[in-house]
Structure 1
Amino acid sequence: MYPIHIVFSDNPIDQRHLGQSGGTISFTACGLPVFRFETQEQLQIYMMLKGESAAYENR
């Protein structure tokens, strides 16, 4: 299985969620930073944490 890359965010909360989900910051071949997940499960956890954070902010 190939790693999953999504757009990098410089938001500290997004980076904290990345770490909590088991993802890492990586770089593309041309040197751009991306969020990297080894499994679909890690990505799903990240998205869940991000969604919970957004719901909390909208209260």
Structure 2
Amino acid sequence: MHPIQIVFSENPIDQRHLGQSGGSISFTACGLPVFHFENREQFQAYLLLKEEVKRNEKR
């Protein structure tokens, strides 16, 4: 499997979800920060945590 990288977020909640899902903050060759996931399972866990927040906000 290939690692997944997405755009870095300064939002502390997003960063907490990153850690909870097993992801980490990494840097591109140009020195830009990104959210890094070793596999799709970590990425999916991150997305689920973000969706949970959205659902709770709508209540």
TM-score (structure 1 length as normaliser)? 0.95
Query: Shift of residue 15 of structure 1?
Result: 0.3
Moved over 6 A (4+): none
Confirm or deny that 1:15 pairs with 2:47.
no
CA RMSD of aligned residues (A): 0.7
Partner of residue 35, structure 2: 35
SS in 2 for 1:53: helix
Across the two proteins, how many residue pairs are aligned to each other? 59
Per-residue CA distance 1:3-40 (angstroms, 9 max, x = gap): 10011100000000000000000000001110000010
| Structure 2 gap ranges (5+) | none
| Structure 1 gap ranges (5+) | none
Partner of residue 49, structure 2: 49
Instruction: Determine the C-alpha separation between the residues in 1 that align with 2:57 and 2:34.
Output: 25
Instruction: Determine the C-alpha separation between the residues in 1 that align with 2:11 and 2:57.
Output: 14
Q: Share of identical aligned residues, percent?
A: 71
Query: Shift of residue 54 of structure 1?
Result: 1.1
